[in-house]
Amino acid sequence: MAIQIEGKKRSKFRVGPVCTNPYPAHMHDPVEMAIVRKGHLMMTVNGITYDLEPNTLIIVFPGVVHSYESASEDAAGLFVGFSTDSIAEYRNTLATMWPVVPKVWLKDCPPEVEEAIEKLEGYSGREGSFPLMLAYIHVLVSCVFTQLKLVPADEMNRDNFAYRVMSYIQQHSNENLTQESVAREMGVGRSYLSRLFSQKMNVNFRRFLNIIRIEKACTLLQDTKLTSKEVCYECGFENTRTFHRVFLEEQKMTPGEFRERMRKGLSAAYDDSYPIA
């Protein structure tokens, strides 16, 4: 969700129902939080799978590989996503540190966290509510940070080959990447890279690349005046037909429909199928 602060700087946040459908391993620049209020949600963050019980929260820092594994039939909760520019006082920490354990029990947080969550759960998307909702996100993040033990991100990923592969793809996603070219760049065989995606990430190379590209496309459609065709090529797609097909598959709407929803101040297709853009 794009918001205007004091007529100058644009900050983004997204609020909606938590994702309860399986979603493959991916990574992105915005921060992501899943708050479970009912049932159970299984998420994998940086290679470790967490069982989220009612009134627990998990926070995913920028550039951290994560996936939604499964959920109980009665699972429900809140999804909150925001850019690091929205929380200026934590920008450097979010960029350079990772939590050792990203799962947090809400009962262990300061009491203000419950009010912040309740306000965000009642978020209406009205223009005048944007600054207030951003303030509640500040409160939520501040409360959660009291429960996190942080270490330098490099320590968490020093020997993580899967992370290095994903990071390379994210940084070069606008180029003409193929499984062969990435394998060659990473110094491994194509078959090894294929097994890495299928066994470690539960997604094939092409789907992961498409997810990264569509996430970038969503940001450009919200925050720039580029045409859909320009966004297509900026994100690395070969033609607009492929771009529109992949966008529809991942976001359940066309690029034009997505941009129009953003202009009207509506959250994008929170149908429990796509966690964040």
Q: Let me know whether 134 and 193 are in one domain.
A: no
Q: Let me know whether 169 and 106 are in one domain.
A: no
Q: Let me know whether 168 and 129 are in one domain.
A: no
Q: What does the pLDDT look like over 230-260, one tens digit per residue? A: 999 999 999 999 999 999 998 889 999 988 8
Four-point Cα dihedral 50, 30, 35, 214, nearest 10 = -80
Q: Let me know whether 47 and 23 are in one domain.
A: yes
- Residues 45, 50, 55: CA angle, nearest 5 degrees: 115
What pLDDT is attached to residue 253? 92
- Closest by CA to 142, choosing from 109, 115, 120, is 109
Residue finishing a domain among 153, 188, 216: 153
Q: Let me know whether 148 and 227 are in one domain.
A: no
Question: Residue type at 117?
Answer: I
What pLDDT is attached to residue 274? 44
Q: Let me know whether 186 and 231 are in one domain.
A: yes
Q: Could you say which residues of the chain have pLDDT below 70?
A: 1-11, 124-128, 156-159, 265-277
Q: Let me know whether 191 and 207 are in one domain.
A: yes
Q: Let me know whether 149 and 76 are in one domain.
A: yes
pTM: 0.71
Q: Let me know whether 224 and 110 are in one domain.
A: no
HEC-encoded secondary structure of 161-188? HHHHHHHHHHHCCCCCCCHHHHHHHHCC
In a domain, 8, yes or no: yes
Helices 205-223, 179-186: inter-axial angle, 10-degree rounding:
100
Contact between 97 and 61 (Cβ < 8 Å)? yes
Question: Residue type at 77?
Answer: G
Q: Let me know whether 178 and 99 are in one domain.
A: no
In a domain, 82, yes or no: yes
Instruction: Write out the residue range of the structural domain in which residue 225 sits.
Output: 159-263
HEC-encoded secondary structure of 27-55? CCCCEEEEEEEECCEEEEECCEEEEECCC
CA atoms within 13 A on the CB side of 269: 19
Q: Let me know whether 172 and 118 are in one domain.
A: no
Q: Let me know whether 10 and 142 are in one domain.
A: yes
